[in-house]
Amino acid sequence: MWTGPAARQHAPVSPLDWSLFSAYLALIAWIGLSNARKSGSTSEFFVAGRSLPWWAVGLSVMATQASAITVIGTTGKAYEDGMRFAQFYLGLPLAMAILAFTLVPLYHRAGVFTAYQLLGQRFDGKTRLLSSLLFLCQRSLSLGVVIYAPSIVLSLLLGWSLATTIATMTSIAVVYTVAGGIRAVVWTDVAQMVLILLGLGACLFILLDRFPDGASLGELHALAEVTGHTRLLDFSFDPKDRYTVWSGLFGGTLLFLSYFGCDQSQVQRFLSGRSLADNQKALLFNGLFKIPVQLFVLGLGVLLFLTFHFDRPPLLFDDQVEAELEQQAEWQPLSASFERALDERRVRAEALLEGKSSDPDLRAGYLNANARVQGLRAEAVELARELSPSYDDTNTVFPYFLLNRLPRGLVGLFLAVIFAAAMSSIDSELNALATTSVVDVYRVHLVPNAGDGHYVTASRWATALWGLLAALFALFAASLGSVIEAVNAVGSYFYGSLLGVFVLYGIPRANGHGAFFGLVAGMSAVALADLGGHVAWLWLNPIGAVATVSVGWLVSGLRRGD
């Protein structure tokens, strides 16, 4: 027996929903603005006077990663592909351990405000400027994707246009980041990480409640195993395959070394701890707990896939696109075929849940039925792409579930969770963009001798400006496909080359000319590799790093004494 509505019936946004959401906004505003009085100097605004406890820094870092992209994009990826995306994180613990005992001590001893100041001290001004400009370019593009992801949910729920939703989201983050600097960012992130974990835990119980009575987790796992959704490790070696053990260990490790060691949005938190030991603890804390959290989120996506075996799903999860397609002649026969395929898949899934998952005939029948469902959905997606070439259904699977299957009151809770996930990423990235703009560009090349208060004011204006630019880019982020892939693909274009410059930092013979031209060579190599389309984006990280180090080492040898 099917459960849940066959048609779209958005859960009403009740007074209780709005009360919960309003309480969340009030809490975040109070935390952010209460720290405004402590952000009057550059040291306070940029690194909170280097006074934050390790656990707050660690939770803030986790909150930044547990963005709306994680909540929306990762669940959508797991719905389509299963647990394979977890291989992306295989290199994270190793990367955290390496950074904790290499770059973090260097940052601590140097007493810098940004990662790129360190390069300037070791090399020269042109290397510092180029690396900071590359960060500003990469992070502003990624921030647009981070803003776009939660705007999908909010625009669906509130009935607002995407542009209005993006403007509202960005404005809220800008206000308290402008007021309180990095201290406001970290303490609001701590509160938001707690809310995110509570919301994801509640989602687990909601999903489990949608299954037929008596279905155990073991039986559900066996059903997911038949389609390969529980497959975690892939040892094949194909440079075009995005998610394998090897791409995770090599490409992923380099990506995380770059992200946490060279990206100002992360480094700035590790510059704000009370001591070197606290900064190292925050890194190791993240390395220890990030993978379990990510596996949990992916598991929710797999449960969502199983839920729609017994809770009738739509042909497309975007109701606006589906409403347009319903007017086309091809839609009605496609929809009717989909309904029949769903019925067959449900019957065969129920048979497997009865403990017969090892029966080869039942497994084959279920796989054929599931392939039929997925094939019809693929046809619908192709029709949708005739209306919008960049249409990607994975970004709307989880929002659809939240808006159509949650009881009254929980809609407000998850609206707050999506907001929290978004704010925890937007605020830190805005602050990092402003800090780098002022410390590495404005103060060095434009206004070098102003007072401390002038640079704090400039940072506040820079925060607002970057918020405006990121919001504009968010309007175009829909064309990038799956948001969880888009944000990491953008990062991979830059991260390997930036990591290569920091590797050169530790090579005694390397000099400023080598670092600068190595960085140019690394970006050029990545551009050529991506243009050729011969490798998946995770492999862009080692390509950029190797090219930067190799060319930097050679040029340094040719220009010794410079």
CATH number of the domain at 75, please.
Answer: 1.20.1730.10
Mean pLDDT, residues 449-474 taken together: 91
Contact 503, 545 (CB under 8 A): yes
C-alpha 247/C-alpha 253 separation (Å) is: 9
- At residue 155, the 3 state secondary structure works out as helix
Judgement on whether residues 433 and 352 belong to the same structural domain of the protein: no
What are 311's strand-pairing partners? 3
Is 356 a residue whose pLDDT tops 80?
no
Same domain membership, residue 171 and residue 278: yes
The answer to whether position 443 is within a domain reads: yes
**Same domain membership, residue 419 and residue 381:** no
- For 242, counting Cβ atoms within 10 Å of its Cβ (0-12 exposed, 13-18 middle, 19+ buried), the class is buried
Q: What's the pLDDT score for residue 474?
A: 83
Which of 543, 535, 557, 553 is closest to 254 using CA atoms?
A: 543
pLDDT at 77 over 70: yes
In this predicted structure, which of 51-55, 231-235, 382-386 has the lowest mean pLDDT?
231-235
**In a shared domain, residues 323 and 437:** no
- Between these two residues, 200 and 491, which has the higher pLDDT value? 200
* Domain co-membership, 327 together with 447: no
* Over residues 454-472, mean pLDDT: 92
Q: What is the pLDDT of residue 392?
A: 74
Q: Is 118 within 8 Å of 136 (Cβ atoms)?
A: no
Angle between helices 397-405 and 410-436 (to 10 degrees): 140
Q: Which amino acid belongs to residue 21? A: F
Residue 524 confidence class, pLDDT cut points 50, 70, 90: very high
Q: Give per-residue pLDDT as tens, 185-206.
A: 899 888 888 888 888 888 888 8
Cβ contacts of residue 465 below 8 Å, gap of 6+? none
In a domain, 522, yes or no: no
386 and 427 both lie in a single domain: no
Q: How far apart are CA 453 and CA 410, in angstroms?
A: 44
Residue 248 confidence class, pLDDT cut points 50, 70, 90: confident
Is 490 part of any domain?
no
Are 294 and 324 members of one domain? no
Question: Alpha-carbon distance 552 to 542, whole Å?
Answer: 15
Please say whether the beta carbons of 488 and 494 come within 8 A: no
pLDDT band at 358 (very low <50, low <70, confident <90, very high): low
Confidence of residue 329 (pLDDT cuts 50, 70, 90): confident
Query: Is 502 within a domain?
Result: no
Residues sharing a CB contact under 8 Å with residue 194, sequence separation 6 or more, in sequence order? 59
Clarify whether residues 178 and 238 are in a common domain: yes
| Residue 143 φ then ψ, to 5° | -60, -35
Please compute the mean of the pLDDT values over residues 155-174 and round it to a whole number: 81
Range of the domain at 241: 15-307+404-474
Q: Are residues 251 and 357 in the same domain?
A: no
pLDDT given at position 126: 94
Answer yes or no: is 397 within a domain: no
pLDDT at 6: 42
3-state secondary structure 454-497: HHHHHHHHHHHHHHHHHHHHHCCHHHHCCHHHHHHHHHHHHHHH
298 vs 243: CA distance, rounded Å: 14
3-state class of 311 per DSSP? strand
When mean pLDDT is compared across 63-67, 292-296, 367-371, the lowest value belongs to: 63-67
Does 232 lie in the same domain as 329?
no
What tokens were used for 84? 């394979």
Burial of residue 441, with CB atoms counted within 10 A of its CB: 0-12 exposed, 13-18 middle, 19 or more buried? middle
**284 and 354 assigned to the same domain:** no
Which carries the bigger pLDDT value, residue 271 or residue 3?
271
Q: Do 34 and 96 fall within a single domain?
A: yes
Q: How many domains does the chain have?
A: 2
Residue 141 lies in a domain: yes
The residue from 361, 390, 419 where one domain ends is 390
Look at residues 262, 269, 313 and name the one whose alpha carbon lies nearest to residue 98: 262
Which of 97-111, 213-227, 430-444 is least confident? Answer: 213-227
Lowest pLDDT segment from 12-26, 164-178, 304-318, 538-552: 12-26
